Amino acid sequence: MNLSITINSTERQTHVSVSGEIDVYTAPKLKEKLFPFSEKEEMNLIVDLNGVTYMDSTGLGVMVGVFKSLRKHNGRLQLTGLSDRINKLFMITGLADIMNIKSGVEGEEV
């Protein structure tokens, strides 16, 4: 179960590129990397999932937790690069209705 996370951060915006599988084994690593940014005031967090080949409910849970933490701290979450399968997960669960999901250019302002 491999997961690669690359982070580029400025004071107000962080761009995180994720590749590999997000599951019960790798989700804690993703949570450990994302949560510190979600607790900063007015942070714009862009998570590029273009390289993610698999995500289970544990991964969805991490995204929901990060989303809630960002909202609590007046920040915003943008998910980009979702595969059709992963996008479908967000659609089925209703998360696509509350989260900012874009297929646009990586790193654009949210």
Is the residue at 45 inside a domain? yes
Is the residue at 57 inside a domain? yes
Rounded CA separation 105/55 (Å): 22
Whether 28 contacts 61, CB under 8 Å = no
pLDDT band at 11 (very low <50, low <70, confident <90, very high): confident
Structural domain of residue 48, as residue ranges? 3-102
Q: Tell whether the model's pLDDT for residue 1 goes beyond 90.
A: no
Q: What is the mean pLDDT of residues 35-39?
A: 96
Q: Residue 103's pLDDT is what?
A: 62
Residue 94, C-beta contacts closer than 8 angstroms, at least 6 positions apart = none
pLDDT band at 109 (very low <50, low <70, confident <90, very high): very low
Q: What's the domain count of the chain?
A: 1
Is the residue at 85 inside a domain? yes
Is the residue at 108 inside a domain? no
Is the residue at 107 inside a domain? no
Residue 48 pairs with which residues in a beta bridge?
A: 17, 80
Q: Residue 104's pLDDT is what?
A: 45
pLDDT band at 106 (very low <50, low <70, confident <90, very high): very low
> What pLDDT digit, counting tens, does each position of 60-105 carry?
999 999 999 999 999 999 999 999 999 999 999 999 999 999 864 4
CATH number of the CATH domain containing 24: 3.30.750.24
What is the dihedral sign for C-alpha 30, 80, 10, 74? negative
Is the residue at 60 inside a domain? yes
Is the residue at 53 inside a domain? yes
Is the residue at 109 inside a domain? no
